[in-house]
């Protein structure tokens, strides 16, 4: 059986919740989804209901309107997704993380004065709850929220104390935040400004003193000053992958080195990060050492997988040729990175 219930006051708009359970076989068939009260047409409303419902739920008697489900897709809104709750923002936090935060939230709500407020935001997979005297930062999953939302802190005292083992989901629907079975009315919201990539002016300002020192050393030493390879230790795993992806896009493709990709051999993934970044960001003296490592990797994979580059015809020449190609590959790669991301480009 499929039933529909009108939920009034959940957010700024009411909505219908559809639910039903059927046992057509050994496994239960479950329907549970939400739809807005207002749709563009009767056909669109029927289409959204039908395409949200699994067919086995009507195993005894299929309604006439359900039988035409293949003809209903043309009535759906653009980019429609089954089960999607329009205009709802969700963030999920693992149980262990939210359990610790929940105690602090309830305590803050119980001790709050009537004029205290707290703010909630979710950006870059991080949920932030800013209380009067503490900032809670929790890892989460979901799409980023476009705004920072503000609520009365005293409303937190009614939060459910028991956390599901599956974790907690925070839902921002219209003007209300749902945490478990608790609805908290939003008092205000502020859009999060879009972050622009740092400009050359931002870079120079942030690195003003180190760059000034390097410039002075460069002048006094008649150009003999050197700079260590930039460290990536302060980057997160996601930021390291973003950096690697940008560097991969600059790799020269028409070389014997990248022919390894035809055999799903990815040197850029197999070699350690220290090689990866020294090859691009290191001093020019690093190129020879990095080329030796790359050529050694290439020849090792040729032996390991029996790759046919006609090496047996003249092994000495082939080994020398691979080293030469590895060096040219790195030089060309570095030039492309500098041309695309260097100071002159900025």
Same domain, 231 and 300: yes
CB 90 within 8 A of CB 173: no
Total structural domains in the chain? 3
Q: Give domain status of residue 202, yes or no.
A: no
* 235 shares a domain with 264: yes
Are residue 230 and residue 333 in the same domain, yes or no? yes
Tell me the pLDDT tens digit for each residue of 210-235.
Answer: 778 888 888 888 877 777 777 777 78
Query: At what angle are helices 315-341 and 237-248 packed, to 10 degrees?
Result: 110
Both structure tokens of 282: 């290191």
Residue 204 lies in a domain: no
The pair of three-digit structure tokens given for residue 329, joined into one six-digit string: 């590959």
One domain for residues 233 and 146: no
Decide which of 146, 174, 191 is a domain's last residue.
191
Lowest mean pLDDT among 168-172, 226-230, 333-337, 342-346: 342-346
261 and 304 both lie in a single domain: yes
Neighbours of 108 (CB within 10 A): 21
Which CATH number characterizes residue 93's domain?
3.10.150.10
Q: Are 230 and 296 found together in one domain?
A: yes
Domain-located, residue 206:
no
What does the alpha-carbon distance between residue 209 and residue 24 come to, in Å, rounded to a whole number? 72
CA distances to 23, 26, 55, 63 from 60, in Å:
11, 15, 11, 10
Among 180, 182, 185, which Cα is nearest to 158's?
182
Domain interval for residue 97? 88-191
Q: Is residue 320 part of a domain?
A: yes
pLDDT at residue 4 in the model: 78
**Cβ of 176: how many Cβ atoms within 10 Å?**
18
For residues 334 and 231, membership in a common domain is answered with yes
Name the residue among 238, 273, 253 with its Cα closest to residue 336: 253
Which of the four pLDDT bands, split at 50, 70 and 90, describes residue 59?
Answer: low
Residue 207 within any structural domain of the chain? no
pLDDT digits (tens, 9 = 90+) for 75-128: 776 555 555 555 578 888 998 889 889 999 999 999 999 999 999 999 888 899
In a domain, 122, yes or no: yes
Distance, in Å, from the CA atom of 252 to the CA atom of 46, rounded to the nearest integer, reads: 53
- Average pLDDT of span 119-143: 90
pLDDT of residue 43: 81
Do 59 and 15 lie in a common domain? yes
| CA trace torsion 66, 71, 77, 78 (10° rounding) | 140
């Amino acid at each position: 059986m499929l039933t529909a219930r009108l939920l009034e006051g959940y957010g700024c708009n009411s909505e219908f919740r559809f639910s039903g359970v059927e046992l057509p076989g050994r496994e239960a068939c479950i329907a549970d989804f939400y739809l807005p009260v207002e749709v563009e047409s009767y056909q669109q409303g029927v289409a959204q209901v039908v395409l949200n419902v699994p067919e086995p739920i009507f195993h005894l008697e299929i309604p006439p309107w359900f039988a035409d489900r293949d003809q209903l897709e043309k009535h759906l809104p653009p980019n429609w997704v089954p089960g999607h709750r329009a205009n709802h923002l969700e963030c999920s936090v693992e149980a262990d993380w939210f359990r610790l935060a929940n105690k602090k939230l309830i305590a803050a709500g119980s001790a709050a004065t009537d004029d205290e407020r707290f703010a909630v935001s979710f950006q870059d997979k991080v949920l932030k709850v800013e209380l009067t005297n503490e900032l809670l930062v929790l890892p989460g999953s979901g799409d980023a929220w476009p705004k920072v939302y503000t609520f009365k802190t005293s409303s937190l005292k009614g939060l459910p104390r028991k956390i599901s083992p599956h974790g907690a989901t925070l839902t921002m629907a219209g003007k209300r935040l749902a945490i478990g079975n608790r609805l908290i009315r939003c008092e205000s919201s502020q859009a999060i400004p879009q972050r622009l990539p740092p400009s050359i002016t931002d870079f120079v300002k942030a690195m003003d003193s180190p760059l000034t020192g390097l410039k002075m050393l460069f002048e006094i030493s008649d150009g003999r000053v050197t700079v260590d390879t930039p460290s990536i230790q302060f980057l997160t795993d996601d930021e390291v992958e973003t950096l690697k992806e940008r560097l991969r896009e600059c790799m020269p493709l028409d070389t014997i080195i990248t022919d390894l990709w035809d055999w799903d051999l990815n040197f850029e993934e197999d070699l350690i990060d220290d090689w990866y970044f020294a090859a691009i960001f290191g001093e020019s003296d690093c190129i020879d050492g990095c080329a030796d490592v790359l050529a050694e990797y290439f020849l090792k994979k040729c032996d390991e997988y029996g790759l046919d580059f006609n090496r047996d015809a003249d092994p000495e020449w082939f080994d020398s040729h691979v080293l030469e190609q590895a060096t040219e590959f790195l030089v060309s790669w570095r030039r492309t990175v500098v041309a695309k991301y260097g100071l002159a480009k900025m």
